[in-house]
Amino acid sequence: MLTPTLPLRIGVLGSGSGTNMQSVLDAIESGTLNAELRLVLSDVQDAKILDRAARHKVPNAWLDCAPFKTKLDGEAEQRCIALLQAHGVDTVILAGFMRIVKPGLLNAFPQRVLNIHPALLPAFPGLEGWKQALEYGVKLAGCTVHFVDAGTDTGPIILQRAVPVLTDDTPETLHARIQTQEHLAYPEALRLLAAGRLRINGRRVEVS
């Protein structure tokens, strides 16, 4: 069983608008998630996720990840870890973070790095999972909250939420419907973690 830490002390890594971070923040502020948002970091200097954090008076910063374009590694990874630890973070969530995280971060926060992916893993990992699903012709799409491991969207699955794929769906309409479920799924997964109800057993996450 993963020992509960109440409240969770969350650090966020994001690259875009930050709607999933907002859903977590809303759950915290409404009292439905026992957690504190300690720090928001973005690899994009003008990302909206930093503006969202600032509006809620959450410490935030741009993380320069050069020279790498697709991963968090090297000196940037070490700066990231140091910043998260300096702010007392014990749980890291990826919220639209468009970089591959490496073992340094995972080892610094063992079994405490989570991601949300816009597809029903293990199907359609990687970029634009909703678009992959639509092009493949599946009848169900959705989202997955999972623990992060060294692979790409391969970590143990915590929970999933499904949506139907409609005959007239476009990538945009399907993505919007999946995002609605993402905003419910991420706080739900974090509530389970905060309550100590998750146990990783090999590839499986057992919920008590």
Q: Is 117 part of the annotated catalytic residue set?
A: yes
Work out the burial of residue 167: count CB atoms within 10 Å of its CB; fewer than 13 is exposed, 13-18 middle, 19 or more buried.
Answer: exposed
At residue 106's C-alpha, the angle toward residues 100 and 108, to 5°, is 135
Phi, psi (rounded to 5 degrees) for 52? -60, -45
Closest CA to 117 of 136, 92, 98: 98
Of 56, 87, 117, 183, which residue is the catalytic one? 117
Active site residues: 117
